[in-house]
Amino acid sequence: MFRKILFPTDFSEGAMRAIRRLERENSMAVEECILLHVIDEGYLEDLLNGYSYMYESEEREMQDIISKAKENAMKKLKERGERCRGMVKAKRMRSVVRIGIPYEEIVKFAEEEKVSLILLPSHGKFGYSEELLGSTTIRVLRKTKKPVLVIKTHKEE
């Protein structure tokens, strides 16, 4: 029984595949599972590209982008939550969206929430062809004091 699991996701398919495999091999009972998506603040700035004429100011445009991004992320997280529910037997499930630098937010959130485990896919959105371990994953591993369960996201052979 894991007390409180944090499952950060960038919505890549690999992570879902990994969880499925883990659950098939082991049967994990979990008290609480928190799905976290961190909107990369660098990515937000990329969206700020010249539509400010539609807004009173760039700050106003940014607020709009942020609220839309949060809304979309929350919707996707809920979908993931439903799919996870069939795989991880968690008594409670929560979805949380944050904005910042992904690995920093993950480490901070894990401390704040006193999670007992962080579940991390070995690779996220940017694939696994070049790198042997995803950059967010390796950074979280280095920084956090929490136990981290790394699941390989390679396609099954």
Chosen residue from 17, 70, 76, 146 binding its own copies by CB under 8 A: 146
29 binds its own copies (CB under 8 A): yes
Phi, psi dihedrals of residue 112, rounded to the nearest 5°: -55, -45
Nearer to its own copies by C-beta: 81 or 121?
A: 121
Nearer to its own copies by C-beta: 78 or 154?
A: 154
Chosen residue from 62, 96, 99, 150 binding its own copies by CB under 8 A: 150
6 binds its own copies (CB under 8 A): no
Chosen residue from 16, 22, 62, 101 binding its own copies by CB under 8 A: 22
74 binds its own copies (CB under 8 A): no
